[in-house]
């Protein structure tokens, strides 16, 4: 990982780290499949460890997995290309960039992709992340979710007090932002606008889903990561020609203000 910014004073210590998409080291997601495996790149945590983690998965055009299960539930956000993730007997439902899905542990499914570049962000709440055969399927009581980006519900300053400008929007995806519980949201920042994003929680992970926003003198292309070990604020500036969409995982409530 690369260190984007570090500030150390007698009173505070705040750490912000990468990687940028261009700095990611890719390796097989499922080494047992060799060259047929999608490629994975770590963003935060370690997917082979026991804790939570977030990583990118890159699929070749035309990729289609055999039916399989995972030992843990995961969440996914499409960053580029088209991704299908469903029951092995289901017809393809292609999710475009900006879409969200969940895959319950133990449920048999097929993952497919098409497009010149197909990248998704994947996160788990506990590891390790393993791929197992369909014969080991089990029902953990959860059900999968597939949300096309056209079906997201975006809220602005007229809907929610956490936003101070109508041009900024937020879409809640999972969890509860109250009482310090983990939750995930998408935040949309208009083209050319600068916004300060603050979480009152102790966990903050941000992944660029769309756009090329600027942060701390760096351009963050889609797939890039920024985060903090403590409660911190981030000033994100969208490119003048394109809005930015950021996926944020935190255990607190967000406050988003536009900077003139």
Structure tokens at 205: 């992970």
- Nearest CA among 4, 8, 24, 27 for reference residue 16: 4
Strand, coil or helix: what is 167?
coil
| Average pLDDT over all residues of the chain | 89
Q: How confident is the model at residue 258 (pLDDT cuts 50, 70, 90)?
A: confident
- Nearest CA among 106, 143, 152, 137 for reference residue 247: 152
Average pLDDT over residues 169-193: 92
- Nearest CA among 253, 206, 199 for reference residue 230: 199
- Nearest CA among 101, 4, 105, 2 for reference residue 57: 101
Res. 8: pLDDT tops 70: no
Contact 136, 87 (CB under 8 A): no
156: left (phi over 0), alpha (psi -120 to 50) or beta: beta
Taking only the tens place, the pLDDT of each residue in 34-76 is 889 999 999 999 999 999 999 999 999 999 999 999 999 999 9
Model-level pTM greater than 0.85?
A: yes
Taking only the tens place, the pLDDT of each residue in 216-232 is 888 999 999 998 766 56
- Nearest CA among 110, 32, 123 for reference residue 69: 110
Sorted by where each starts, the structural domains of the chain and their CATH numbers stand as 38-149 (2.60.120.10), 152-259 (2.60.120.10)
Q: What backbone torsions phi and psi does residue 141 show, to the nearest 5 degrees?
A: 95, -15
Q: What backbone torsions phi and psi does residue 221 show, to the nearest 5 degrees?
A: -75, 160
């Amino acid at each position: 990982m690369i260190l984007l910014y570090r500030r150390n004073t007698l009173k505070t210590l705040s750490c912000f780290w990468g990687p940028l998409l261009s700095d990611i080291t890719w390796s097989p997601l499922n080494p047992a499949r060799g060259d047929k495996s999608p490629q994975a790149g770590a963003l935060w945590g370690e997917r082979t460890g026991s804790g939570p983690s977030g990583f990118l998965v890159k699929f070749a055009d035309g990729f289609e997995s055999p039916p399989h299960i995972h030992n843990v539930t995961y969440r996914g956000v499409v960053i580029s290309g088209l991704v299908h993730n469903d029951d092995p007997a289901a017809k393809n439902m292609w999710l475009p960039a900006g879409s969200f899905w969940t895959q319950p542990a133990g449920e048999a499914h097929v993952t497919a992709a098409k497009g010149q570049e197909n990248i998704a962000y994947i996160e788990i709440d506990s590891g390790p992340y393993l791929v197992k055969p369909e014969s080991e399927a089990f029902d953990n009581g959860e059900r999968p979710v597939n949300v096309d980006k056209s079906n997201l519900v975006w809220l602005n300053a007229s809907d929610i007090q956490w936003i101070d400008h109508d041009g900024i929007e937020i879409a809640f995806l999972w969890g509860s932002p109250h009482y310090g519980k983990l939750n995930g949201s998408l935040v949309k920042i208009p083209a050319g606008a600068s916004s300060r994003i603050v979480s009152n929680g102790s966990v903050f992970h941000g992944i660029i889903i769309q756009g090329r926003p600027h942060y701390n003198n760096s351009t963050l292309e889609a797939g890039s990561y920024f985060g903090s070990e403590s409660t911190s604020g981030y000033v994100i500036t969208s490119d003048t020609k394109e809005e930015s969409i950021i996926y944020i995982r935190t255990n607190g409530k967000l406050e988003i203000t536009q900077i003139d």
